[in-house]
């Protein structure tokens, strides 16, 4: 009896250890990240649709900086985390999801402080950012570009009640959110 209990305690503690080390483990993506500055070299003109400035003026651009505020630290503490919000994986996973990407896959212009950035939503861009690839949608997608035709399922991967600012059962109006951040390429006349 005692023996069995001892073994299950051992098993339990090793599972906990594994869970703890998993959240700090780095992940190795298939494609490298180049950063918003790289995407913005082309996606800033009026003709292209000024995606760079639309994003810069959105809250996504400050999602990481939000975690450096007293308010964020207070929330993290209340949730039982002992680390500052900006070092807490359970916050970073929505506010700066590339926090755990292996450093070798982050280009020199990549900046984690850009928070929820172009490549968070569109996929790591090292292999699709060249003009010849970008101009060929099928090739771009093959090279890692991610497009979303269903905002209802995509946006709620982060905009859900796991966020400490969204109440359980609160309806998230995805279309209203999209109106605030949409950034289309203007139709050619
Ligand atoms: C060298 C210039 C250049 C860079 C750098 C670049 N793009 Fe593009 N991108 C374009 C052009 C040009 C188009 C439009 C292609 C067209 O109209 O057929 C485009 C199209 C797109 C589209 C729309 C694809 C579609 O067919 O619906 C997305 C999304 C996109 N880019 C995201 C990004 C992201 C994210 C980055 C950074 C990782 C990036 N781009 C970097 C030039 C660039
Ligand atoms: C990777 C996680 C993530 C995804 C995916 C995501 N968001 Fe967000 N979004 C956030 C975070 C985090 C904030 C809070 C940023 C802050 O204020 O610091 C936010 C804030 C916003 C805001 C500002 C808050 C408000 O109520 O006005 C809008 C608008 C928004 N997101 C729209 C969208 C839309 C539309 C989509 C889907 C196309 C989307 N987001 C997908 C993480 C995400
Ligand atoms: C499941 C994704 C998710 C997780 C996990 C998450 N957040 Fe957020 N957070 C969001 C979204 C989305 C928003 C903005 C949307 C809203 O509240 O309407 C937001 C907003 C915030 C805001 C308000 C920002 C503003 O502009 O006023 C603070 C502060 C914040 N989060 C802190 C935290 C902290 C601290 C943690 C970790 C304990 C955390 N978040 C974990 C998704 C998340
Ligand atoms: C919160 C997620 C999110 C972020 C951040 C984001 N986008 Fe998008 N983007 C989308 C969604 C959703 C669409 C519409 C559906 C699609 O084409 O994927 C879109 C569409 C586009 C399009 C195509 C527009 C069209 O008319 O076909 C381009 C180009 C683009 N994004 C570039 C960028 C660039 C460059 C950045 C960074 C400066 C960026 N996006 C940041 C989610 C995002």
Closest ligand to Cα 185: 4
pLDDT at 93 over 60: yes
Which numbered atom of ligand 2 lies nearest the CA of 95? 12
Residues near 79 by Cβ (< 8 Å), separated by ≥ 6? 90, 164
By C-alpha distance, which of 101, 95, 107 is closest to 163? 95
Q: Is the CB of 180 under 6 A from ligand 3?
A: no
By C-alpha distance, which of 37, 32, 21 is closest to 103? 32
pLDDT in tens, 3-20: 444 444 444 433 444 444
Between 5-19, 58-72, 80-94, the lowest mean confidence (pLDDT) is in 5-19
Task: Return d(Cα 86, Cα 73) in angstroms, integer.
Answer: 8
pLDDT in tens, 111-138: 999 999 999 999 999 999 999 999 999 9
Q: Are 64 and 87 in contact (CB under 8 A)?
A: no
Task: Return d(Cα 148, Cα 153) in angstroms, integer.
Answer: 9
Atom 16 of ligand 1: nearest residue by CA position: 135
Closest ligand to Cα 67: 3
Q: Are 91 and 67 in contact (CB under 8 A)?
A: yes
Reported as a pLDDT band with limits 50, 70 and 90, residue 188 is confident
Ligand 4 centroid–CA 152 distance in Å is 15
């Amino acid at each position: 009896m005692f023996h069995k209990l001892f073994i299950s305690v051992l098993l339990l503690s090793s599972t906990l250890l594994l869970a703890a080390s998993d959240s700090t483990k780095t992940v190795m993506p298939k494609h490298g990240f180049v950063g918003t500055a790289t995407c913005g070299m082309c996606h800033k003109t009026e003709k292209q649709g000024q995606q760079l400035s639309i994003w810069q003026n959105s809250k996504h651009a400050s999602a990481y900086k939000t975690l450096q505020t007293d308010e964020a630290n207070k929330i993290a503490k209340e949730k039982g985390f002992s680390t500052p919000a900006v070092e807490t994986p359970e916050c970073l996973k929505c506010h700066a999801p590339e926090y755990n990407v292996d450093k070798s896959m982050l280009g020199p212009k990549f900046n984690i402080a850009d928070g929820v950035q172009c490549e968070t939503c569109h996929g790591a861009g090292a292999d699709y950012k060249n003009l010849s690839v970008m101009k060929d949608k099928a090739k771009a997608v093959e090279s890692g570009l991610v497009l979303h035709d269903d905002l209802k399922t995509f946006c709620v991967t982060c905009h859900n009640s796991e966020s400490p600012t969204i109440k359980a059962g609160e309806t998230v109006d995805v279309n209203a959110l999209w109106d605030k951040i949409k950034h289309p390429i203007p139709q050619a006349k």
